[in-house]
Amino acid sequence: MNETQTTYYKTPIGIAKITGDENGIQSVTVLDETEVTQSDLNADTPEILQYCVTQLEEYFKGERASFDLTVNPKGTYFQKKVWKSLLNIPYGKTRSYLEQSKSLGDVKAIRAVATANGKNPLWIIIPCHRIIGSDGSLTGYSGGIWRKKWLLNHENPNKQQSLF
């Protein structure tokens, strides 16, 4: 049986807690700095998680737009199908929950799709932050709306400049 390994990586918007084993990355969650000890942050990164840390570093430096990792998230068949559909949203783009439901073939499943997005265990790697409300609002993000806004601005910094 594979032993699950854990490491912590400090990002501009919180601490990423990364877990995985030889079968892939199982989860990347975001924590506030008060939830992690300094010894956790200073601990050596297990070899099987190092590539994930490297890719997250590249993402936050603006050098990576997609991830090339073996992932092994825990979830139901439906959840995994929803999470896989999130990978089709290009870097710097967004889709609505309705558009995501349509792409999965069932517009009536919008609430189930939204619930599955909320259970996404692979923060940033499976980009649920790219899903917004049909009216363009930033809704439903387990990491906090401020983080969702930060991530979307990070991926698409070319906003209309004010003339005044």
pLDDT band at 1 (very low <50, low <70, confident <90, very high): low
Verify whether residue 128 is a known catalytic residue.
yes
C-alpha 32 chain-centroid distance: 16
Question: What is the value of pTM for the model shown?
Answer: 0.90
Bigger pLDDT: 158 or 121? 121
CB contact at 8 A, 113 and 100: yes
Question: What are the pLDDT digits (tens) for 57-94?
Answer: 999 999 999 999 999 999 999 999 999 999 999 999 99
* CA distances (Å), origin 46, targets 7, 21, 127: 7, 10, 24
For 44-83, letters b (16+ CB in 10 Å) and e give ebbebbebbbebbeebbeeeeeebebebbbeeeeebeebb
Q: Which of 49, 56, 82, 128 is catalytic?
A: 128
According to DSSP H, which parts of 43-162 are helical?
A: 47-60, 77-86, 97-103, 110-118, 145-155
